[in-house]
Structure formats: structure tokens, C-alpha cells
């Protein structure tokens, strides 16, 4: 006895309802998400290609990798640096100093030196970079 061949019905997936659900989830997550954008600038420090034509001032402050301060190659602390700069700037006509910091120094150390220099009466700073 031969049985009649059954027609095979291929399974049919209805994508319409799946697309609707995915779209609803997408809308839900977009509306319930908070996109926080950081305020401020993203700074990438470039290398200097052009040499500066500025003449280096007599007064210079160096900051080594440990954050130690050197005024004209003499080790000083923050209080002594303030006193020296105040005294030297009284006789200096241009009120300018150069600041040279090691690339491993924390930014806070450079800002402290700038703040000390401003307190002493410095008008202009030269931040020394490597060419």
C-alpha cells in the first residue's frame, strides 16, 4: 500500500512583529537613556615643529620629574621661589620668566609655578618645549 505523499509546508517566520518589537525596544532605550557629554576640551598636545624666535629671559624656573623646583639651576621650594621672583622682578624691565618642565611632571606642579610667578608680579611666561 502506497501512502499519498504529504506536502511539506516550509516554516514561515513573520518578521513584521519581530521588527516592531525591536523598533519599540530601540525607541524605549533611546528615550530612557541619558547621553552625558563631558564639558571641556579634549587636548592632544602636539610636538613643536617651528622654533620660537623669542629671546629667553634671564629668569628661569625648571621642574624636574619629581616635581622639585629649580630657580636658575638652584634647588628651591615654593616659598623661596616666591621671595626670589619678587625681589628679582623689581629690577627686571620685562617681567618675564621661562618655565621648563619635564614631560612626566604632573600638570598641577606647572600650575603652582605659574601661580607663584603671578603672585610675584610676572606678566609673561615662556613655556619651554622640545623642538
pLDDT at residue 118 in the model? 92
pLDDT at residue 35 in the model? 65
Average pLDDT, the chain: 80
Which strands make up the sheet holding 74-76, listed edge to edge?
74-76, 69-71, 59-63, 96-101, 124-127
Q: What domains lie within the chain, and their CATH numbers?
A: 59-127 (3.30.420.270)
By CB neighbour count within 10 A (0-12 exposed, 13-18 middle, 19+ buried), where does 114 fall? middle
What H or E segment, with its residue span, contains residue 69?
A: strand 69-71
**Quick one: pLDDT band at residue 41, thresholds 50, 70, 90?**
very low
Answer yes or no: is pLDDT of 60 > 90. no
- For residues 12-21, average pLDDT: 85
Higher pLDDT among residues 56 and 5, named by residue: 5
Amino acid at each position: 500500500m502506497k501512502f499519498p505523499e504529504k506536502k511539506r509546508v516550509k516554516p514561515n517566520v513573520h518578521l513584521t512583529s519581530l521588527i516592531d518589537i525591536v523598533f519599540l525596544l530601540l525607541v524605549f532605550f533611546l528615550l530612557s537613556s541619558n547621553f552625558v557629554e563631558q564639558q571641556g576640551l579634549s587636548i592632544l598636545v602636539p610636538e613643536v615643529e617651528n622654533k620660537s624666535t623669542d629671546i629667553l629671559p634671564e629668569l628661569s624656573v625648571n621642574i624636574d620629574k619629581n616635581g622639585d623646583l629649580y630657580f636658575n639651576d638652584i634647588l628651591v621650594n615654593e616659598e623661596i621661589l616666591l621671595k626670589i621672583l619678587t625681589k628679582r622682578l623689581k629690577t627686571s624691565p620685562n617681567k618675564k620668566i621661562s618655565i621648563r618642565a619635564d614631560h612626566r611632571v604632573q600638570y598641577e606642579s606647572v600650575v603652582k609655578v605659574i601661580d607663584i610667578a603671578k603672585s610675584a608680579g610676572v606678566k609673561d611666561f615662556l613655556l619651554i618645549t622640545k623642538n
